A and B are shown apart, each in its own frame.
Chain A
Amino acid sequence: MVDDTSGDLRLTGITKSYESFTAVDELDLTIPQGSFFALLGPSGCGKTTTLRMVAGLEEPTSGAIHIGNTDITNTKAYQRNVNTVFQSYALFPHLNIVDNVAFGLRRRGVKDHQAKAMEALELVELDGSARKKPGQLSGGMQQRVALARAIVNRPDVLLLDEPLGALDLKLRRQMQIELKRIQSEVGLTFVHVTHDQEEAMTMADTIAVMDGGRLQQVGDPATLYENPSSTFVANFLGQSNLLSATVIRVDNGSAVLDVRGVKLLIPPGLLPVGEKKVWLGVRPEKLRLVDGPLEGLNTLPGVVTDASFTGVATHYLVKMPWGQELTAVQQNDGMPRALTGATVTLAWDPHHGFALDASQDAHAGEDIEDIEAS
């Protein structure tokens, strides 16, 4: 499979413009065959429009879509070997479950469509409800029917449009695991559109973060989280503390940054090339509350302004001498907790920081649909 890339989904310069705005702007993206790929972004970022263009439900203003070497840009939805799991499920209310699942097989004249549909229903553990109507099933079951109806056709690409959005949290977690299991079982290319960063990170091999119709960053979940390439990604995927810093000098082992008179270190490889002014970022869970400066660690003094205990961890707000409040998350590992008003030192390993070009808005991507995740 490694050198067989004939089934990759390739978007080249895809643009979708409406009268008043551009939903998707010059998007270039390659989605490898057999991968679980997530398109992540806030609502209105163009991810659903991108998905609909791949499905053939919207026509791109310009650009091309290929599956392998086949150009599918100008083909109709029903001619594409692509299936969608719709956000609303869109099950046919007048057909029973097995007929819903067999719908695509029948249109293509597949023999033994009933048997194949039953197999797909077994995969989603709904073979017992085959003769029921969609209205008689719960939301989670309908979701699984929609999935079975799509995968039974063995499409080149399976598109999932916020498929878990309508489910409650517990069911959603369960379905995330289920979806991953099914994807590895059937080995199809899954393209999953979501605004839930935790969902994307849990399920996808590769995530493409979108904002304003453009790609922000593409990578595996760990890379995106540990080394975001923009303030938007840093804030949208989890939380980040961003400090305004100036590069003083770069030694062979580490770069020295100045943050309001405090010298802080970062591996030089993480610095954006040729930038003097940067945002020095560090994730809340990488910060430790310590008693005083420690050798080899970056440290900042501060005063605890808020401490909220959640059981697993304690979330602190620590006010810096210049007024900025940093968030720190301390695991409940048995160490004593700091109280509000205490003077503390925040410490972190220089390798846990990241640096971003300072010309960006430090608050980009903050608090956008910040659901129960994080």
Chain B
Amino acid sequence: MAAITSVKPGTVIRPPARKGRWTPYLLLLPGMLWLVVFFVVPTISLASQSLQTGSVDEGYVLTWNFQIYVDAVRQYLPHFTRSIGYAASATLLSLVLGYPLAYFMAQKAGRWKNVLLVLVIAPFFTNFLIRTLAWQIILTDTGWVTTFARWSHLTSALQWVGLTNNDQLMSSKFAVICGLTYNFLPFMVLPLYANLERLDHRLVEAAGDLYASAFETFRRVVWPLSLPGVVAGTLLTFIPAAGDFINSRLLGNTQTVMVGQVIDGQFLRVLDYPIAAALSFILMMTIVILVGLYVRRAGTEELV
């Protein structure tokens, strides 16, 4: 101990070696490695595949065939716009259905909160495919849903706006959007719930105190404060919905084919790998650009 008090003049006091300097990098390593092996390498391989020519039997050669992207867009533009349109509709519908549900669960449900939360997650206990097949039964022509829709002239209304082609509900745009909404609704509800649960109820009271009606309070306080949850929910719904290939196949018809379904077919049935890879790449870039624009516009970084 005496050494501390009697440091000789001129002694260089070295700072203690910074031991944990490499710890952050070590902690990053497993995740980075995973992403490199299962994301970066496959993406490069996908990009390279799209620029190759040849066939499965004769093998592929990289020929930098950029023309394939022009062909892909020219041939499959309707499928792209359809995918984006369906995904956007399903996202909007999920928001309209999910927001009140999440708000109720977070602010009003009290001790039923956890039960409701489990109910929201419950569909995940069943396989995605099975759940979508169940919608075939729900919307079947002889089912009570269709019967009711016909009785209430909902079928006529849907036909009139072009969501169905005849007086059936199955095999239509309507059925595909319903399936997408149903399958991705929990991805909307959960982030919204997490956000709205943190909403300080005293801010709602303060808004009321400052002459804001219930609607104005929602518009000026609750909604802007919940935007991070809305952004997270819409992204988690829109991105997988845009690439989905099950709902359109099981619930749609030949006029509702989405780009995911085309990619699936080109890869696994037609075995035209370059066009499938090019379509995948275009879809990926489209989503990245749309999401980028959306997040910039929503300006989430300004929110707390």
Q: In the complex, what distance in Å separates the CA atom of A79 from the CA atom of B213? A: 8
> Which residues of chain A have C-beta atoms less than 8 A from B200's C-beta?
88, 90
> Which residues of chain A have C-beta atoms less than 8 A from B303's C-beta?
94
Q: In the complex, what distance in Å separates the CA atom of A77 from the CA atom of B209? A: 5
Given known pairs A90-B205, A92-B203, the reply for A78 and B213 (CB within 8 Å) is yes
Chain A residues numbered 99-154 whose CB sits less than 8 Å from any CB in chain B: 103-104, 107-108, 133, 135, 149, 153
Further pairs besides A84-B209, A90-B206: 17, Cβ < 8 Å: A55-B209, A57-B205, A76-B208, A78-B209, A78-B211, A78-B212, A88-B202, A90-B202, A92-B207, A93-B203, A103-B207, A103-B212, A103-B220, A107-B210, A107-B212, A108-B211, A149-B210
> Which residues of chain A have C-beta atoms less than 8 A from B225's C-beta?
93-94
> Which residues of chain B have C-beta atoms less than 8 A from A90's C-beta?
200, 202-203, 205-206
B216 at the interface (CB under 8 A from A): yes
Main SS of chain B's interface residues?
Answer: helix
Q: Mark B206-235, 1 if CB is under 8 A from A, else 0.
A: 111111110010001100110000000000
Q: In the complex, what distance in Å separates the CA atom of A57 from the CA atom of B212? A: 13
Q: Is the CB of A56 within 8 A of B208?
A: yes
Q: Is the CB of A92 within 8 A of B213?
A: no
Which bucket holds chain A's interface residue count? Answer: 20 to 34
> Which residues of chain B have C-beta atoms less than 8 A from A153's C-beta?
210-211
Q: In the complex, what distance in Å separates the CA atom of A225 from the CA atom of B221? A: 45
Chain A residues numbered 36-88 whose CB sits less than 8 Å from any CB in chain B: 55-57, 76-79, 82-84, 86, 88
Q: Is the CB of B304 within 8 A of A83?
A: no
Max chain B C-beta neighbours (<10 A), residue from A55, A88, A107:
A107
> How far is the CB of A227 from the nearest CB of chain B, in Å?
37
> Which residues of chain A have C-beta atoms less than 8 A from B212's C-beta?
78, 103, 107
Q: Is the CB of A83 within 8 A of B216?
A: no
Chain B residues numbered 189-209 whose CB sits less than 8 Å from any CB in chain A: 200, 202-203, 205-209
Q: Mark A166-195, 1 if CB is under 8 A from B, else 0.
A: 000000000000000000000000000000
Chain A residues numbered 309-333 whose CB sits less than 8 Å from any CB in chain B: none
Q: In the complex, what distance in Å separates the CA atom of A108 from the CA atom of B208? A: 12
> Which residues of chain B have C-beta atoms less than 8 A from A86's C-beta?
202, 205-206, 209
Q: Is the CB of B216 within 8 A of A57?
A: no
Choose one: B206, B216, B220, B304; the contact of A84 (CB below 8 Å).
B206
